Amino acid sequence: DIEVLLHCASQPSIESSQRLRFGCFRYFYFSLEQQFEQAKLPVFNNRWSEVYSFTPNRGPEYELLAPEAMDPTAMLKPLHEVSDMCSADEADMWKTACPVPFTCGPVAAAGSESAVIVCMPKLGRASCFELSRAIQQDESVNLSRALEFRIDAQWGRKLDSALSKWPDRGPVEAQEVVVVLHLFGEGSIAKALAHCRAVAGDNASSAVYHSQTREESLLMQ
């Protein structure tokens, strides 16, 4: 009987386990984002929901928490009560200021209208965070998954194939970082467009791409 709010850049693996429940990492104190950077943990690459079991024939070993159950205050004592490294005001900011985007996983997104947003390097990392947080604060849509990758030969080919119908995008240089957001919910495509325009402004046509076809979805696999 273990509940985990997890950040994991690789596929989390379990073996000979029972009654595990996984959710997306949600926490905050003011130095947390800096600590993620120092540890070289990519906050947009959180594969918490892609659990792999080495013993799949043992029956159900785990489940994914529903979004409303991913509440750290229900699992842990408030950090400010056990340590002086965090104030009560900081602890209450976990919903809006956690450096890891809050994603709901593929089960929650199944069967819903969805959209993929591709954030090119031109948009800038700060704007990627702003965009993901705007989506998280929009109660009509949710993030299923986020992804970031550094352009190499393999990812360059994959990106070119997925975005071949996007004439306005500029060139992407090797080692530049692209961020992809997959959102779902009623009106996702229209909401994706609205949030992209609000964040990117005049750069929207060349910095972000919003659509949902099989080709763009392949970026998330």
Predicted pLDDT of residue 39: 94
The CB density around residue 210, as the number of other CB atoms within 10 Å, is: 23
53 forms bridges with which residues in the sheet? 14
> What pLDDT sits at residue 49?
93
Q: Please tell me the predicted confidence (pLDDT) of residue 46.
A: 94
Task: Please tell me the predicted confidence (pLDDT) of residue 52.
Answer: 92
Q: What is the pTM of this model?
A: 0.84
User: At 126, which helix (H) or strand (E)?
Assistant: helix 125-137
Would you give per-residue pLDDT tens digits along the chain (221 residues)? 899 999 999 999 999 888 899 999 998 888 888 999 999 999 999 999 999 999 877 778 899 999 889 988 888 887 778 877 777 777 778 878 889 999 998 766 566 788 888 888 888 888 999 999 999 888 888 898 999 998 988 888 888 887 777 767 777 888 889 999 988 888 888 888 889 889 988 777 767 776 665 445 555 55
Question: Which distant-in-sequence residues (6+ apart) come within 8 Å of 45 by Cβ?
Answer: 9, 146, 147, 148, 149
Which residue spans within 84-141 are E strands per DSSP?
114-119
